[in-house]
Amino acid sequence: MLFDIRVKESLRDLFDRDDEIEKLRASLNEPLVVVFGLRRVGKSSLIKAVLNEYAPSNYFYIDLRRFEESGYVSYRDFVKALEDSINARVRSRRLLSMLSRIRGVSISGFRVSFSWGRDRVMLADILDSINDWAGDEGLRAIIVLDEAQELVKARGFNVLPVLAYAYDNLRNLTFIITGSEFRVFTKFLKLNDPESPLFGRAYVSITLKPFNEEQAVEFLRRGFKEHGIEFDRAEEVYEELGGNPGWLTLFGYRALRMGFNEALNETRREAVDLIRREICNFINEGRHLAERRYLRILEVCVSGCRWSTIKMALEAMEGRELNNSIVDSLIKALLDYSLLIKEGNTYVLPDKLMRDAVIGLRCFVNAVNSDNV
Ligand SMILES: Nc1ncnc2c1ncn2[C@@H]1O[C@H](COP(=O)(O)OP(=O)(O)OP(=O)(O)O)[C@@H](O)[C@H]1O
Ligand SMILES: [Mg+2]
């Protein structure tokens, strides 16, 4: 059902995305795949649907979104998340028996338990065991780190050296990593940073974009049709919400339960709230000194803008000249975080609803506030 608001688990329920499905399927033997995309665009759905179809018994899904609200991620937190991901899927006695030989692992029935205290389990040992098990079974074990950028908040441990070790040595493992666009790339994996343990490693990149108008209209029509409804206001919905599948799904779900206008307004409000949280997360990540500057750039770019317009707007706001390199670095940070997109010589906002999110927005540390909410 297209208007099911949970993560889609089956290819049957996934609308379109044929190219991305094929690319992911074809990459399941590669060591590293990175799936980029805005919030709610369908990253988790793509991965789960493809893995349930093509690798149902050999993937482990670690959902790091659970740490979104936490200030930091401890070794214990991460090990527990890994433990949950194995317990959710493990059906193999052989895997359990291999894991049981590692220090810091205990097995009870079909459940594995990792210790994080003095006798702490080592991540590399767990990966070694999974790799050996996959080799024995003639399989590829796939480990998904969903929303990996949360691991930037890791305290007292670092996953990257272990990932680099696995990349170089464990031939039966594939890592699929997701995150909101370049945030996971620049802040977590840092594949282009010579200081990063993963520097220079090749990877497959898959970017999920919002639907275009034609796709969005078809998505809505088909979704309503599943409920026996002929829907002829899809263009209006696209006009308001844009093409992010998450918002379209939520709208469809709501419209089946309430009136058209109410469904549209509620979805819009929710989407704008989430986008505001994303913007404020970015600003609060140690950059609040530049808050006014970032928000000013986003405001100036709601209908598209040039580099020179940005510079002029910032100078007008501050009443002084600004160095070009400062303007460049502000823009680059917004691009890296996917809050801004470059199209030719113009900068635009990536999501239609961002316009509403940006106007009147003020971010305070760990809070979103605005007169316009
Ligand atoms: N191609 C699609 N076909 C049908 N529904 C989709 C599709 N893509 C996304 N959805 C729906 O959109 C919503 C968001 O999808 P999903 O959670 O997979 O996105 P995400 O990118 O992982 O989001 P988040 O950034 O919040 O983790 C869900 O309700 C999902 O069912
Ligand atoms: Mg997700």
Q: pLDDT at position 182, please?
A: 57
Task: Report the separation in Å between the CA atom of 40 and the middle of ligand 2, taken as the mean of its atom positions.
Answer: 7
Ligand 1 lined by 40 (C-beta under 6 Å):
yes
Whether residues 224 and 354 fall in one domain: no
Last residue of a domain, one of 208, 224, 246: 208
Query: Residues 72-124: pLDDT tens digits?
Result: 999 999 999 999 999 998 878 899 999 999 999 999 988 999 998 888 999 99
Whether residues 34 and 158 fall in one domain: yes
Ligand nearest the Cα of residue 208 is 1
Share of the chain above pLDDT 90, in %: 74
How large is the average pLDDT for residues 349-372?
A: 71
Q: Where are the alpha helices (DSSP H) in the chain?
A: 18-26, 43-54, 75-89, 93-100, 123-137, 159-169, 182, 213-225, 234-241, 245-255, 260-284, 291-300, 307-318, 324-336, 354-358
Q: pLDDT at position 63, please?
A: 94
Q: pLDDT at position 355, please?
A: 85
How large is the average pLDDT for residues 326-330?
A: 94
Contacts of 273 (CB under 8 A, 6+ apart): 368, 373
Place of tokens 């002829």: 232
Calculate the alpha carbon distances from 119 to 78, 90, 116 in Å: 16, 23, 7
Whether residues 217 and 194 fall in one domain: no
Q: pLDDT at position 370, please?
A: 41
Whether residues 153 and 194 fall in one domain: yes
Whether residues 163 and 60 fall in one domain: yes
Last residue of a domain, one of 247, 274, 301: 274
**pLDDT tops 70 at residue 373:** no
Task: Report the separation in Å between the CA atom of 251 and the middle of ligand 2, taken as the mean of its atom positions.
Answer: 18
Ligand 1 lined by 15 (C-beta under 6 Å):
yes
Whether residues 43 and 178 fall in one domain: yes
Ramachandran sector of residue 138 (left: φ over 0; alpha: ψ -120 to 50; beta: rest): left
User: Which is nearest to 356 in space by CA: 290, 284, 291, 264?
Assistant: 264
Q: Which of 16, 38, 40, 221 to mutate to test the pocket of ligand 1 (most atoms within 8 A of CB)?
A: 40
In this structure, is residue 282 part of a structural domain?
no
User: Which is nearest to 103 in space by CA: 85, 87, 125, 75?
Assistant: 125
Q: Which of 1, 249, 277 to mutate to test the pocket of ligand 1 (most atoms within 8 A of CB)?
A: 249
Domain count, the chain: 3
> How sure is the predictor about 286, in pLDDT bands with cuts at 50, 70 and 90?
low
In this structure, is residue 280 part of a structural domain?
no
Q: pLDDT at position 289, please?
A: 66
Last residue of a domain, one of 208, 227, 253: 208
Whether residues 42 and 123 fall in one domain: yes
CA–CA dist 123, 133 (Å, integer): 15
Ligand 1 lined by 39 (C-beta under 6 Å):
yes
**Which range of residues forms the domain containing residue 116?**
11-208
Ligand nearest the Cα of residue 42 is 1
Q: What is the DSSP string of 87-105?
A: HHH---HHHHHHHHTSTTE
Whether residues 70 and 146 fall in one domain: yes
Ligand nearest the Cα of residue 226 is 1
> How sure is the predictor about 301, in pLDDT bands with cuts at 50, 70 and 90?
very high
> How sure is the predictor about 369, in pLDDT bands with cuts at 50, 70 and 90?
very low
Q: Which atom of ligand 1 is nearest to the CA of 250?
A: 29
Query: Residues 208-263: pLDDT tens digits?
Result: 989 999 999 999 999 999 999 999 999 999 999 999 999 999 999 999 999 999 99
Whether residues 241 and 292 fall in one domain: no
How large is the average pLDDT for residues 120-147?
A: 96
> Across the chain, what does the average pLDDT equal?
91
CA dihedral (241, 247, 253, 257) in degrees, to 10, reads -50
Residue type, 158: N
In this structure, is residue 148 part of a structural domain?
yes
Q: Take atom 9 of ligand 1 and give the residue whose Cα is closest.
A: 42
Q: CB 298: neighbour CB atoms within 10 A?
A: 22
Of the listed ranges 6-10, 99-103, 106-110, 279-283, the least confidently predicted one is 279-283
Q: pLDDT at position 287, please?
A: 57
Q: Kindly state the tokens that stand for 159.
A: 């996953």
Whether residues 231 and 323 fall in one domain: no
In this structure, is residue 249 part of a structural domain?
yes
> In this structure, are residues 98 and 179 in contact, taking their beta carbons and an 8 Å threshold?
no
